[in-house]
Structure formats: structure tokens, C-alpha cells
């Protein structure tokens, strides 16, 4: 596999990062997960803007406008037309003379920028929503869920909780309100409408696929969502970069609705994939015109 590290494209076996890198010692950095279909980065502006916000709040200096170009070049070098791209930026290694494990750095060093691509199915694969099962668990993570931080221990532990409950994913909650799943946002169909937890009601990430669903379907309401609503929902949908739209069939072993993929899951998947096809078509047309 060819990876990207600090301006270089090289085999993963040759990539080297200092053991004193703050990403390794502190989890001090942010990342983005990006989808590529047919050599087209999907929603690049959303990912660049979200990473820019995370870098600014984290006080890490790197220009995320480089992200789409890195993604496309990795696809080219790995001969992948459909891929999931992981791009991570850490604060880097302390300059010589500074303590290697101080909580703050006196001077801004060079960030460590790392990216890799893994192959994914093409658009034709996403005809029907995949399915999953959920365990309802307490959200014990930190209160800066809007940051796409590489410090994902809380999410990892939640994933282990799902396994312990015999489920594949979790629906997390805090103070009686729904937050999110381990790696995706949640949309529910309840009382004849669609709702998703608002960003000001819970400490959650503003997912790129969540944002696309909201833009494509103005009928989705952003608001506080109670756990009791989740448990009586007709459909529970997980939306994320990798699986796009997933239908949860069970929560804690009990069926969601009739226990089958519902019409809202199929409709939202069709909307998102239609948007992907439009973006790919526009990119190809731009190349032809250029």
C-alpha cells in the first residue's frame, strides 16, 4: 500500500513517525474520513471546512485545502477508483530542547500529516441499505464530540460494549437524550416524521453524511431526541461515510418497528447515492470541458 506522510508518497513499510509524536503520546490531533467514488472526492468542501474548524480549535497549523488532492493522488498511486480515505494531522514532535511529554508546546513545531486509502465498493453496490443491531449504552465520552479527534478510546470502549451485549453497534445516550453511534450519526423515524439529535442538544460530531441528508431532505428535523423516542421509533437509521445509510433492525434484542428495512432507509440511501452520482458526473464533465 502507498501512503502519504509529510509530503511524500511511499510504501507503508517505509513510513516512519517519531515515537515522540504527540499523536502517539497524547492522541493530539484531528482526522477526516473521506469517500471517493470513481476518482471523485465526495463533498470535499464539507470535509475541508470541518477539518479546518478542528485544526483551528486544536491550535494545529496545517492547510486542509490540500486534503482533496492528497486523496486523489493516493487513489491514483494505489490504482483505486473507489476508496475510503483516512487523513490524520497531529501536532507533531516537540522541537529539540523542549520536553517530549509536556502538555503544551512552547513553540509550534511541524505537524505530522498522514493519509492512506482502503478500497471500497463502487456506487452500484449501494442499492439497498445494509443492516445492523444496536445496544443502548451510556455515553461516557468527553464533551467535545464536535471535534473529529484521533483520541477515540471512548468510541472503542463503546464498540466493546456493543460486543458484550451481542450487538454490532451502539446507540449512545446522555441525560436521557440520544447522542450518536460509534462511527455514525442517528436519524429516527417517529410519530410520522424524521428527527436527528441537534448539535446543541448533545455532544456529537456534525457528520458529513448527516449534513447531506439534512440538505437533501429538509423534512428531517434537528432537535433533542429522547431515548424513549428511539425505543418506539418505526425506523432507526445510522448515517456515515463508509456505510452511507444503515438500517438498525434491533435495539437490545428487541425489533425496531417490524424488524425489517423500512421505506425511509431506502429513500435516504437513494437520495444520498443520487447526490454521489451527480457529483461524479459533474467532475467528469468538468474534466471533459477542461
101-132 pLDDT, tens digit per residue, is 898 888 878 999 999 999 999 999 999 999 99
- d(CA 118, CA 124) in angstroms, rounded, equals 18
Residue 1 has pLDDT above 90, yes or no: yes
Task: Write the DSSP string, 34-92.
Answer: EEEETTEESSHHHHHHHHHHHHHHHT----GGGHHHHHHHHHHHTT-SSEEEEEEEE--
Q: Which of 123-137, 139-153, 230-244 has the lowest mean pLDDT?
A: 139-153
pLDDT at residue 289, as a whole number: 64
Cα dist. 167→135, 190, 218 in Å? 6, 22, 31
> Which domains, and CATH codes, for the chain?
2-120 (3.30.470.10), 131-276 (3.20.10.10)
Average pLDDT, the chain: 95
Whole-number Cα distances in Å, 245 to 28, 81, 144, 235, 266: 30, 21, 25, 12, 8
C-beta separation of 236 from 256 below 8 A: yes
**Residue 199 confidence (pLDDT):** 95
Phi, psi of 237 (to 5 degrees): -115, 135
Q: What pTM was computed for the model?
A: 0.93
pLDDT category at 286 given cuts 50, 70, 90 is confident
Please check the confidence at residue 258 and state whether its pLDDT lies above 90: yes
Please check the confidence at residue 287 and state whether its pLDDT lies above 80: no
pLDDT value at 64 more than 80: yes
pLDDT confidence band for 290 (50 / 70 / 90): low
Q: Give me the mean pLDDT over the 85-109 stretch.
A: 90
pLDDT at 144 (0 to 100):
87
Q: Taking Cα atoms as reference points, which of 253, 247, 290 lies closest to residue 268?
A: 247
pLDDT at 106: 82
pLDDT of residue 142: 87
What is the mean predicted confidence (pLDDT) over 8-20?
A: 97
Q: How far apart are CA 209 and CA 261, in angstroms?
A: 19
Q: What is the pLDDT of residues 209-236, one digit of tens each?
A: 999 999 999 999 999 999 999 999 999 9
Specify the pLDDT at position 153: 93
Residue 161 has pLDDT above 80, yes or no: yes
Q: In this predicted structure, what is the pLDDT of residue 97? A: 86
Would you say 238 and 183 are in contact if contact means Cβ atoms under 8 Å apart? no
* Secondary structure element (H or E) that encloses residue 122, with its range: none
Mean pLDDT value of segment 83-102: 94
- Residue 108 has a pLDDT of 79
Quote the pLDDT of residue 273.
97
Amino acid at each position: 500500500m502507498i501512503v502519504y506522510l509529510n509530503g511524500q508518497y511511499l510504501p507503508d513499510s517505509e513510513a516512519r513517525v517519531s515515537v515522540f509524536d504527540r499523536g502517539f503520546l497524547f492522541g493530539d490531533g484531528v482526522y477526516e474520513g473521506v469517500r471517493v467514488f470513481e476518482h471523485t472526492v465526495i463533498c470535499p468542501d464539507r470535509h475541508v471546512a470541518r477539518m479546518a474548524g478542528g485544526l483551528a480549535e486544536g491550535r494545529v497549523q496545517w492547510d486542509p485545502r490540500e486534503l482533496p488532492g492528497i486523496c486523489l493522488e493516493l487513489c491514483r498511486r494505489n490504482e483505486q477508483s473507489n476508496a475510503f480515505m483516512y487523513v490524520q494531522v497531529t501536532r507533531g514532535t516537540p522541537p529539540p530542547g523542549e520536553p517530549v511529554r509536556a502538555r503544551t508546546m512552547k513553540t509550534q513545531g511541524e505537524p505530522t500529516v498522514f493519509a492512506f486509502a482502503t478500497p471500497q465498493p463502487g456506487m452500484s453496490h449501494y442499492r439497498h441499505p445494509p443492516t445492523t443491531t444496536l445496544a443502548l449504552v451510556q455515553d461516557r465520552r468527553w464533551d467535545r464530540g464536535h471535534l473529529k479527534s484521533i483520541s477515540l478510546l471512548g468510541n472503542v470502549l463503546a464498540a466493546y460494549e456493543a460486543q458484550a451485549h451481542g450487538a454490532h453497534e451502539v446507540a449512545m445516550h446522555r441525560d436521557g437524550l440520544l447522542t450518536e453511534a460509534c462511527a455514525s450519526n442517528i436519524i429516527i423515524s417517529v410519530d410520522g416524521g424524521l428527527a436527528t439529535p441537534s448539535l446543541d442538544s448533545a455532544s456529537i460530531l456534525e457528520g458529513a453524511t448527516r449534513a447531506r441528508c439534512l440538505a437533501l431532505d429538509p423534512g428531517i428535523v434537528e432537535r433533542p431526541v429522547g431515548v424513549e423516542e428511539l425505543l418506539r421509533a418505526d425506523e432507526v437509521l445510522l448515517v456515515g461515510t463508509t456505510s452511507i445509510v444503515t438500517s438498525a433492525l434491533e435495539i437490545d434484542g428487541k425489533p425496531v418497528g417490524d424488524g425489517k428495512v423500512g421505506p425511509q432507509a431506502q429513500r435516504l440511501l437513494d437520495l444520498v447515492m443520487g447526490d454521489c452520482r451527480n457529483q461524479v458526473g459533474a467532475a467528469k464533465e468538468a474534466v471533459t470541458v477542461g
